[in-house]
Chains A and B, each alone.
Chain A
Amino acid sequence: MRLKLKIWRQQSRSAAGKFVSYPMDDANPDMSMLECLDVLNERLIEAGEDPVAFEHDCREGICGSCGFMINGVAHGPLPATTVCQLTLRHFKEGQELVLEPWRARAFPLIKDLVVDRRSFDRIISSGGYVSVSTGSAPDGNAILVSKESADRAMDAAACIGCGACVAACPNASAALFTGAKIAHLGILPQGKPERDVRALRMVAQMNAEGFGGCTNIGECTGVCPKEIPLEVIAAMNRDYIRGSWRERDNLVTTIRPFTEWSTGSKLKVDRATE
């Protein structure tokens, strides 16, 4: 099949970027979107040009590495599908596909379609865990968890951290991602003791990273490859409000975002107090 790819090319964060068109006259409908880029890249290299940088690893829709906008939609037109699992048969003969990186202040661009999503790690680092050190766990069946809670926790825990929700949101909010972790751990008895501070810290870090606020538009859940439901944002807001009251005497610290990659500056973790 024939396709026309129009791809955002940008050498580095400081360089200027532009769209470049590449005809694909012999694409195979069974190829995935990423395999189509592989084929393009082989040709570019053979022609002495720089291949298109894009992120990928598992190519099974689970690692969360891949992702870009296709014609303005994060991960493209197929619901619940990452670009690595999106096959070309879902496009029309001769269609033009415009590929762009996630665009958000908290995801600085690295090259072409690759962005820096370390802000997500810092949100998790701020409180997205149960504080249980190795060796201190009771027997697995000592704490009963109803099947319903386990299932709901699993629904939220399915997030792959791809960032599509941020890219799709007009406010570039990370509420769906953050809410998914807060809901996953908040539903389970294991996560209950830290529920208040977890929500406070994670929301504070999310704000410190420069993600926008949530205004309940719902674009995020529409593009989410794991169909994380909007209710996780409600859970986040509830825990945050409850936490703000109960923990009102405690200071919350955040890590100052760092966007440089050089080894020297990366280690310095700056803490700010909210």
Chain B
Amino acid sequence: MELNSRIPSGPIERLWDETRFNMKLVNPANKRRHSLIVVGSGLAGASAAATLGELGYNVKCFCFQDSPRRAHSIAAQGGINAAKNYQNDGDSIYRLFYDTVKGGDFRAREANVYRLAQISVSIIDQCVAQGVPFAREYGGTLTNRSFGGAQVSRTFYARGQTGQQLLLGAYQALERQVQAGSVAMYPRTEMLDLIVIDGRARGIVTRNLVTGEIDTHLGDAVILGTGGYGNVFYLSTNAKGSNVTASWRAHKRGALFANPCFTQIHPTCIPVSGDYQSKLTLMSESLRNDGRIWVPKQKGDTRPPDRIPESERDYYLERRYPSFGNLVPRDVASRNAKYACDEGRGVGETGLGVYLDFADSIRRLGRKTIEERYGNLFDMYERITGEDPYAVPMRIYPAIHYTMGGLWVDYHLMSSIPGLFVIGEANFSDHGANRLGASALMQGLSDGYFIVPYTVGDYLASNKLEKISESQSEVGNAVALVEQMTQKLLAIDGKRTVDSFHRQLGKIVWDYCGMSRTAGGLRLAIEQIRELREEFWNNLRVPGSAADFNQSLEKAGRVADFFELAELMCVDALERNESCGGHFREEYQTAEGEAQRDDDNYSYVAAWEYRGYGSPEELVKELLEFQYVHPSQRSYK
């Protein structure tokens, strides 16, 4: 397969303008006649569905939660970036563009990232107009903070609930269109397959999660905003329901999956406390501004932290990275915590944790200042662990947090299946091998409010779409496939629960395709994943029936897809013989232990094509060119 990224040529700052100018427009009177299917109601899906509804299209929007307002986006805490330069500290569209390309370790497309930086400005305007209660200065203007090591203050936030407030803004815009009759909302409805007719995406197969009814919805284009796949690791900071099913089933219908091994680990999460643990809680990385990270110098030192004298502590980040210290990027901080624990110097009952100590800051700044800065986070920590972080150092450990990989899309956010658009975390587009803090919210809303509404219109106006009907064989076949899979899952009637398989799968992926990877480990992981998948299909027990509210059945379908994705992640990681961003191959590091890219051989997007169950996927490369930001080696020494 040939990939055409449809990136126009010309000066980068004019590309999006020119693309829009060259687009064909849909006659306003005809918009109503086009049915569009939006799967997902997170920041990306809700903003797209609302905007398409406003434009006059006939939209159906789907989510698996009981309300669109509960999409995983709701949990984002830190904030959203925009190149407003309200702080007059030298920010600009170009700087945000530059930081994002560099932060992504030169594995993202320049044209996409530039457009994202341009649009960032309009996102804030739109959200403010919707009534999103962003933090303000006393004079009434918007406040910013610096986030994730950025040297300018460009992050907008609403307390520690930025994702919630942005999502509620998009949700309310969506509900306004529901009221207007232009959007029909289908909550508790899960997409289980994509319907492709004559090579174009024309609809979806869904299961009603309350009644079990299998249904089809046909339309002129399908837009997936179904989120990331971090839950392949079982334990992650994602919401429990987040899954890869919509993307994966589209992949099996021909949509290429790009860079699956690019996953991001967040260094400051609350460590695992026992086998029953169901998810990991993230704490804002702003904590690293005032907390000092350390472990005991000695292996197996089980003394409580206050009994370990200063001289027997290893502030390893400060030691190894004297100029950045505790503020090194996410991947560097995470990897170093892993090494400390691998050496047997981890703390807490499980030995998988490091201290994040505020004692010095409290001494220096006073408890009150620390309370003002981090009060909420300290409370949350105490609620979960039962320990008081003002008195005892916090324990933290890295956790999987975000997935940069996803379905391959071109500059129009269209996948390799014409008529299938992919937005938000579900696509691979803008973050390369590593995402900067506060950029996911920006990308989701940019895709949904400001890009896909145009590009879908262009697609509809430029292509003649045949009339289709429910009675076509493609529709019936897709339904039959879904029904077969459901029956198959229920019929196994083995001994083990879905969660037990998921937990075991997650551990394999975490151990071998997590923070650091080796060729040997990845090969082993592929073997183990296949074995476990075999057992899954022979020894799974799903209680209940298909015609029922059946949460085990929902999970079983999702875990089945995670099994296949997990293998592809390892294959992709194995193929990429370099280290970049979140992908760290131990064989490829500098003498100082930093990630070593290989731009001569790996400056490409790895897009994978499905070739049938059990057959190896085929690699299609999209070469990346850097005309503006020249690849350089990161250094945080």
Contact = CB atoms under 8 A, between A and B. Distances in A.
B140 A146 contact: yes
Interface stretch (A62-70, A91-99, A214-222, A232-240): A62-70
Contacts of A255: 179
B128 A134 contact: no
Interface string B483-509: 000000000000101011000000000
A125 B383 contact: no
A272 interface: no
A144 B139 contact: yes
A68 B488 CA distance: 33
Chain A residues touching B, majority SS: loop
B239 A85 contact: no
Interface stretch (B4-12, B158-166, B247-255): B158-166
B213 to A, nearest CB: 6
B68 interface: yes
A55 to B, nearest CB: 7
Interface stretch (B147-155, B277-285, B322-330, B426-434): B277-285
A171 B276 CA distance: 38
B453 interface: yes
A120 interface: yes
A121 B67 contact: yes
A262 B208 CA distance: 8
A203 to B, nearest CB: 15
Most buried by B among A65, A160, A188: A65
A62 B131 contact: no
B435 to A, nearest CB: 20
A60 interface: yes
A50 B210 CA distance: 16
Contacts of A87: 383-384, 386
A53 interface: yes
A267 B184 contact: yes
A261 B383 contact: no
Given A111-B549, A134-B51, A125 B176 contact: yes
B375 interface: no
Interface in B135-177: 135-142, 158-159, 161, 164-165, 168, 171-173, 175-176
A192 to B, nearest CB: 10
A57 B188 contact: no
A73 interface: no
B528 interface: no
A149 B549 CA distance: 43
A62 B299 CA distance: 39
Contact of B241 (A57, A89, A128): A57
A60 B75 CA distance: 8
Interface in A114-138: 114, 116-118, 120-121, 124-138
Contact of B181 (A45, A141, A145, A269): A269
B312 interface: no
A191 B68 CA distance: 22
Interface residues of A, number: 86
B214 to A, nearest CB: 10
Contact of A89 (B129, B188, B386, B453): B386
Contact of A38 (B74, B276, B453): B276
A184 interface: yes
Q: Sort chain B's interface into a size bin.
A: 35 or more
Nearest to A31: B276
Interface string A144-169: 11110011011001101100000000
B208 A130 contact: no
Nearest to A156: B133
A99 B164 CA distance: 28
A132 B168 contact: no
Contacts of B133: 150-151, 153-154, 157, 184, 188
A63 B65 contact: yes
A273 to B, nearest CB: 15
Most buried by B among A57, A261, A269: A57
B110 to A, nearest CB: 26
Given A30-B274, A35-B278, A137-B126, A144 B141 contact: yes
Contacts of A118: 66-67, 187
A58 interface: yes
B93 to A, nearest CB: 15
B412 interface: no
B345 interface: no
A29 B210 CA distance: 33
Contacts of B273: 28, 30
B533 to A, nearest CB: 20
Nearest to A64: B70
B51 to A, nearest CB: 4
Contacts of B20: none
Nearest to B173: A129
Contacts of A62: 74-75, 161, 164
A237 B166 CA distance: 27
Contact of B211 (A117, A125, A261): A261
B549 A51 contact: no
B603 interface: no
B602 interface: no
A50 B126 CA distance: 47
Contacts of A120: 67
Given A125-B176, A144-B139, A262 B211 contact: yes
Contact of A57 (B70, B137, B165, B215): B70
Contact of B552 (A48, A51, A60, A145): A51
B159 A141 contact: no
A105 to B, nearest CB: 17
Most buried by A among B142, B165, B278, B385: B278
Contacts of A59: 239-240, 278-279, 281
Nearest to B86: A141
B50 interface: yes
A124 B171 contact: yes
A144 B142 CA distance: 8
A111 B240 CA distance: 19
Contacts of B185: 121
Given A121-B185, A140-B128, A63 B211 contact: no
24 contacts: A50-B544, A53-B551, A58-B72, A58-B74, A85-B383, A114-B549, A118-B66, A121-B175, A121-B187, A127-B179, A128-B175, A129-B175, A129-B176, A134-B47, A134-B54, A134-B450, A141-B142, A154-B165, A158-B161, A184-B131, A262-B211, A262-B213, A263-B215, A267-B184
Given A45-B543, A266-B186, 20 more contacts: A63-B70, A64-B69, A87-B384, A124-B175, A127-B179, A134-B54, A134-B449, A140-B127, A140-B134, A147-B140, A157-B133, A158-B161, A160-B164, A161-B69, A184-B133, A190-B131, A261-B210, A262-B211, A263-B208, A267-B184
Interface of A: 12, 28-32, 34-36, 38-39, 42, 44-46, 48-51, 53, 55-60, 62-65, 78, 81, 85, 87, 89, 110-111, 114, 116-118, 120-121, 124-141, 143-147, 150-151, 153-154, 157-158, 160-161, 184-185, 188, 190-191, 255, 261-263, 266-267, 269
Query: 5 tightest A-B contacts by CB?
Result: A144-B140, A137-B129, A129-B172, A125-B175, A137-B125
